[in-house]
Amino acid sequence: MRRRTITSVKLLLLAMIPILGFLLIYVVPLGLTFRYTFTATPEGQTWTDSIHEILQNRYFAAGFRNLLQFGCACLGAGFSLALGLSWLMVRHPHLARPAVLIMILPLLIPTFSVSHLVQELFHIDLLSRWEVCAGALLCLYCWKYTGTAASILYAAHIHLQREVLEAAKLDGCGEWRLFFRVRLPMIRGQVGLSLLFLLMDYFRIYKESYLLFGRYPPDELYLIQHYMANHYLKMDVFRVSVAAASMAVLCLLFFGVAALLLKEKRVKTK
């Protein structure tokens, strides 16, 4: 026990430098932005009135709403695609290695290099229908980020205990049933992880969206990041910080709920 404590203290000390650096360069500035929420109230208005005005703003609400809605679409499509790809890779193990290598490449390619191609391909301009724009953005998202999720799921698959699968097969389990009732539950952890990665990548979709549509995308694709970026240019620090604070609060709520659910599950399975 004592050795373990010493080890963990040593590990903590080792990690102090990156932690401190990370706090200084990322977390502290974020905290300072939150401070603006209280100090940068526009002149001639009370704080509560200002907050109220922002929360009631149509585009502020739309930003969050679209973030969630489009997020469901992206995650749904991305996860299904990743799951399908991983299954195909399980079926053809000799293709699995090159597959992973190929699927990681889009993550590395700068979006800027392909944004022009996407615009041409989907004929995206101001007059395009929002469905086409959404489709283009969705395709770009899947192209870029599905690879990591698929690799994680594939790795999970191949680490499964053969015996359990064989046993299930002998019991007369059909292909689909085998997949959904046996495999998936066994790789629950990695499913969660791949979803997490997909979610984190989804939040970076603003960059892709900006390259494709500019500052003012179709109404249905207007995300809270657009709100923040546009107000930054309008030099409205207050609005930027309120949006940032709201986003952070939502994220924390979401992860808090997720963590609680996971904890419950863990307790249940024990």
Q: Site for another protein (CB under 8 A): which residue of 132, 251, 261, 262?
A: 251
Q: Is the Cβ of residue 22 or residue 38 nearer to another protein in the bound state?
A: 22
φ/ψ of residue 59, rounded to 5: -80, -30
By the rule CB under 8 A, 32 interacts with another protein? yes
Distance CA 121, CA 22 (A): 40
The length of the chain in residues reads 270
Residue 81, helix vs strand vs coil: helix
Place of tokens 């191609």: 117
Q: Which of 49, 131, 169, 214 binds another protein (CB under 8 A)?
A: 214
Binding positions for another protein, 160-179, rule CB under 8 A: none
Q: Residue 159 CB, nearest distance to another protein (Å)?
A: 8
| Interaction between residue 228 and another protein (CB under 8 A) | yes
Question: Does an H or E element contain 14, and which?
Answer: helix 2-22
Question: Segment 71-130, which members bind another protein (CB under 8 A)?
Answer: 85, 88-89, 91-92, 95-114, 116-118, 125-127
Q: Which is nearer to another protein, 171 or 219 (CB)?
A: 219
Q: Specify the residue for token string 């046993």.
A: 167
Query: Measured from the CB of residue 207, what is the shortest distance to another protein in angstroms?
Result: 8
Q: Which of 2, 58, 266, 270 binds another protein (CB under 8 A)?
A: 58
Which residue in the set 49, 169, 232, 253 belongs to the binding site for another protein (CB under 8 A)? 232
Q: Which of 72, 203, 253, 260 binds another protein (CB under 8 A)?
A: 203
Residue with Cβ nearer another protein (173 or 250): 250
In the structure encoding, which two tokens stand for residue 220, read together?
A: 């249905």
In the numeric block, the tokens 């499964």 are attached to 160
Number of chain positions touching another protein (CB under 8 A): 106
* Distance from chain centroid for Cα 115: 20
Which class for 220: exposed (0-12), middle (13-18), buried (19 or more C-beta within 10 A)?
middle
The answer to the question of residue 222 lying near another protein (CB under 8 A) is yes
**Structure token digits, residue 29:** 């500035």
Q: How far is the CB of 12 from another protein (least distance, A)?
A: 6
Binding mask 124-163 for another protein (x = CB under 8 A): -xxx---------------x---x---x---x--x-----
* Nearest CA-CA partner of 209 in 111, 82, 80, 76: 111
Contact range with another protein by CB under 8 A, out of 45-53, 163-171, 177-185, 200-208 = 200-208
Q: Count the alpha carbons within 13 Å of 143 in the hemisphere toward its beta carbon.
A: 15
Question: Binding segment for another protein among 54-62, 70-78, 160-168, 178-186 (CB under 8 A)?
Answer: 54-62
Only one of the segments 8-16, 72-80, 162-170, 177-185 lies at the binding site for another protein (rule: CB under 8 A); that segment is 8-16
Closest CA to 178 of 194, 160, 191, 193: 160
Query: Residue 228's closest CA among 206, 243, 246, 216?
Result: 243
